[in-house]
Structure 1
């Protein structure tokens, strides 16, 4: 039987015959062709889920494990996709958004039996150089960009090369040529700001990331539209741009709290920045929401556990990653597919960080 090591002893001679299962053995047990087994292993989208289940069950019964190295050589596929971070891994991984979005990508990649290769750099040039090496050396089959920024040289390069890639975030340019996954960030920020105006707040500040990031541009637009809708004038000194880190939140609130009329409400575009704001206010002898109400974004796992628990926009981070990977594998398998736009739903989760004025 396949998978059994048979030992024969004839006098002083010990002969080992290793009969490992093959694709043909799997095909015979599953009652399909060997080529169908190969397509199942490659997770070909044209194979039905029922056939995949039958073939996978046969592989498990036989103890068959695909030789991915050999298959990669034969198909000229690396069985690996690349992830492009916005900055150095040390900084990026301080924000729980990225581990969660990578978990979504990793889950889909595991389903497709693909590995992940992460590239980071301390500067944009370093990140670009890393991507050039991956693409020109054909060390990966496709790329997922975990951010979108204004005048992105990387997207232009990948489009020019015709290399498969998807983006988490709306592209600033060439939107109709690029497959991307994003939330409706204008609408989400409009709803977050409107929640504060409905509670009676008029002095509402916006704390976002850098204006080179498309997500900041969109959320700032949503904030402005909500203020206009509530007939509240926007104070430009209420708008700040900082890193998506606790230090960024600390810098933001230190400036805002020293204004002639400090804001009573804050729209903060990242939970980690919000934690920095809450901690800094406490050190100043102020409290959320008694002195300042706060709505943030991402709804990471410890938003609910914070004191006070944060009212936050849940943007379905895991699903952003999962769908981006799904789109990339479709592009890898069918290069002729037209670009797609996937909008992931969001939800405002109301907790304890806001109060009515």
Structure 2
């Protein structure tokens, strides 16, 4: 005969409703009670009927991660993998499953998350990026769905979001190069529709203005978060008659393309060009030379986003989770790519 929730309750010396609350990770259940009940469930071989429980509680104990459109960008960039690792780790600890959704375009993304939420297959969504005009955020916000944005929303500043101060981080990276004596500093940006591209460009520009330095339009190049973007950008930069002596790059993966291009052109870092990048992924320390990079706490960002979303889901009908922007601290890690003063011949 199958073990029931009443069998678990009797063995554990608690009520069936307490066992039910343990299964749903109710915040009012103590860690000791939860541990005891789960040990009894394992001892008796009890497996809850998840579908029946979901029908009663109107929750799924599942969340959705909405991936960026470009699969190439996703699977070649450690940033997204580390974000997902943080999200999944926290979700699993809370007893939540994680579903993945993506779309070829914005319309597909909206339809995808709509099916999952309105079909009661997930309780909330985490968006891994923030666009300046985002129909997915519009849909989630207007329909009062639970969601957390990785990044910053320009239209809805009070929604739940997790970010780093990208303006200040880029300002700090640029100021570091200025402190070495550089006056001609370039910037390799990301897609212009992303808020992170806008914010990091703003920080770069503000640092130049505060230091009384100019920025020429040809010293700013837009691209994707891909090696090829850096590879193409450096070919352009090094052929300028008045080329930069240092560059701030929006992402470590982009920097790897820059390093490859410089090697092929027989230029050396930092002797001929100094570089500072973002995200401080593990490979940045192992590149040749090791990259100076701004550490934005990627894993912590994903972990926090997952934690906030689950809190918002579990607090439905009780005290509301405080909305707002949660900032993860950043730090500049200086390595060999930016330890020289103004390169030779400048």
Q: 2:73–2:225: 8 Å Cα contact kept in structure 1? A: no
Aligned counterpart, 1:265: 246
More displaced stretch, 269-278 vs 201-210: 201-210
Q: 1:83–1:145: 8 Å Cα contact kept in structure 2? A: yes
- Of 51, 58, 72, 2:54 maps to 72
3-state SS of 1:93 partner: helix
Residue 156 (1) aligns with residue 138 (2): yes
Aligned counterpart, 1:110: 92
- Of 276, 290, 294, 1:309 maps to 290
Residue 344 (1) aligns with residue 325 (2): no
Aligned counterpart, 1:167: 149
TM-score, normalised relative to structure 1: 0.89
Counterpart CA distance in 1 for 2:241 and 2:107 is: 41
| Correspondences of 1:1-357 after superposition (within 5 Å) | 18=1, 20-176=2-158, 178-335=159-316, 336-354=320-338, 355-357=340-342
1:29: Cα distance to partner?
Answer: 4.1
**C-alpha offsets along residues 294-352 of structure 1, whole Å, 9 cap, x if unaligned?**
11111112111111111111111111111111111111112333413211111111111
Counterpart CA distance in 1 for 2:181 and 2:40 is: 63
3-state SS of 1:304 partner: helix
RMSD: 1.7
**C-alpha offsets along residues 64-110 of structure 1, whole Å, 9 cap, x if unaligned?**
34332332233232332111122133431211111110011111111
Counterpart CA distance in 1 for 2:114 and 2:84 is: 22
3-state SS of 1:148 partner: coil
More displaced stretch, 93-102 vs 127-136: 127-136
1:35: Cα distance to partner?
Answer: 1.6
Q: Please, which runs of 5 or more residues in structure 2 have no aligned partner? A: none
1:223: Cα distance to partner?
Answer: 0.8
**C-alpha offsets along residues 111-147 of structure 1, whole Å, 9 cap, x if unaligned?**
1222222112222222223223223323221111111
TM-score, normalised relative to structure 2: 0.92
1:221: Cα distance to partner?
Answer: 1.2
Counterpart CA distance in 1 for 2:267 and 2:104 is: 36
- Structure of greater Rg: 1
**C-alpha offsets along residues 33-56 of structure 1, whole Å, 9 cap, x if unaligned?**
222222122112222333323333
More displaced stretch, 157-166 vs 33-42: 33-42
More displaced stretch, 161-170 vs 48-57: 48-57
Counterpart CA distance in 2 for 1:89 and 1:118 is: 13
Q: 1:144–1:165: 8 Å Cα contact kept in structure 2? A: yes
Q: Please, which runs of 5 or more residues in structure 1 have no aligned partner? A: 1-17
Query: Higher relative contact order at CA 8 Å, sep ≥6: structure 1 or structure 2?
Result: 2
